[in-house]
Amino acid sequence: MRAVVWKEPHKVAVEEVEDVKMTEPTDAILRLTSAGICGSDLHMYEGRAPVEPGEVFGHENLGVIEEVGSAVRSVKAGDRVVLPFNVACGFCANCVRGYTNACLTTNPSSHGGGYGYSGMGPHRGGQAEYVRVPYADFNCLELPGEPGDKLEDDFLLLADVFPTGWHAAELANVSAGEPVAIFGAGPVGLLAALSARLKGASEIYVVDGVQSRLAKVSEIEGATPIDTTEGDPVEQILEARRPFREQASRLRPGSGDKMPGVMSGIDAVGYEAWNDERFGEEQHPSQILDDLVSIVNPTGQIGLIGVYFPEDPGGVSEDAKQGRFGVDLGLCWNKGIGIAMGQAPVKRYNRRLRDLITRGLCKPSFFVSHHLALEEAPEAYARFDERAEGYTKIILQPERRAA
């Protein structure tokens, strides 16, 4: 079968690899109709996360069940399903508590399993024609409709990006009537903004320096794009909030001055952040942390959904190479800011988010920019990695042939 495999830093190829096979009676085989390229894939693509040559990429997987094992009961051949990027058993101590992102069964070397991803077990990715699905009864989310219909892109985003954006809003305690600042207008940042709108946030500020991404922010009702190329994003948000601060002070004198920022802050960038003053030129891995501690009000909450690895060979300093990052802990402590972080437990949210989609209450695929054949993946990775204008979300379609 054909699959996207890693060759070396900044190089992937589409090659013939061994066909996937079921190894347990609880397995299924999925024929892929859509597979997303995720911003998290770029960490491996660049060689900044451990990956072996020949590893098949892809943790955003949607398709049709081709075959099921003898113990599978809830899905059958022909069913349309999407897979959480977390590979989870459903019965370990963490899964039964809802932490499928930290499954104790599916990764022999650590907690948490995932498809085609560094350090997340021996599970092949789905940027391929087929993928093996362990514990299929638990990991498959059934979908209505037919492959290629108008909801195909929306349903694909249930594998990772939409639940991850929702989880970011949960980590940051986004609440109805409260303001939120989101740093990063990539897929996760955009869907964190959409999630904040669905949760009723009163003000939504989304920070980035790529114009095509900022244009997508403007498509979210109530969201305000903040362009880092036009100056300090913290100062821009404070200025944008001036009318709300003045109103708060009129209602209760002094309250606007002492609570000038936002109540929730989300880092949707991670350790590959750029310096605000030299955006696109100089990396500053703790830039978003600095900005969030500055802009979040006393007693507010920060959600770190952007990736921070314990090892980064491409780090800008010795500390960064070992996953150590500076943060203004004194100011953070003084303001009583809470910080929560980690991968999304997709199963906790994906059924409910599916139903929001099917009932027409949201359309998370508004930022999808490209539908490509597997053979076009090498060029797509290169363009996505350089943050090229217009490359907001790339979906590979294994049954499609390159032009």
Which residues make up the CATH 3.90.180.10 domain(s) of the chain? 2-160+345-396
State the pTM of this model. 0.94
| Segment 26-51 mean pLDDT | 94
Give Rg (Cα) of the chain.
21
Ranked by mean pLDDT, which of 139-143, 228-232, 320-324 comes out on top? 139-143
Predicted local distance difference test score (pLDDT) of residue 119: 87
DSSP state letters, 167-232: HHHHHTT--TT-EEEEE--SHHHHHHHHHHHHHT-SEEEEEES-HHHHHHHTTSTTEEEEEGGGS-
Is 2-160+345-396 a CATH 3.90.180.10 domain? yes
Residue 116 reports pLDDT greater than 70: yes
Residue type, 61: N
CA 172 to mean position of chain CA atoms: 15
Residue 281 reports pLDDT greater than 80: no
Fold observed for domain 165-341:
Rossmann fold (3.40.50)
Predicted local distance difference test score (pLDDT) of residue 282: 58
In this predicted structure, which of 43-57, 78-92, 99-113, 334-348 has the lowest mean pLDDT?
A: 43-57
| Segment 69-95 mean pLDDT | 98
Residue 167 reports pLDDT greater than 70: yes
Residue 277 reports pLDDT greater than 90: no
Residue 280 reports pLDDT greater than 70: no
Which residues make up the CATH 3.40.50.720 domain(s) of the chain? 165-341
| Segment 184-191 mean pLDDT | 96
pLDDT digit string, tens, across residues 232-252: 999 999 999 999 988 988 888
Report yes or no: 196 and 174 within 8 Å, Cβ to Cβ: yes
Q: How many CB atoms lie within 10 A of CB 104?
A: 17
| Segment 295-323 mean pLDDT | 84
In this predicted structure, which of 46-55, 200-209, 353-362 has the lowest mean pLDDT?
A: 46-55
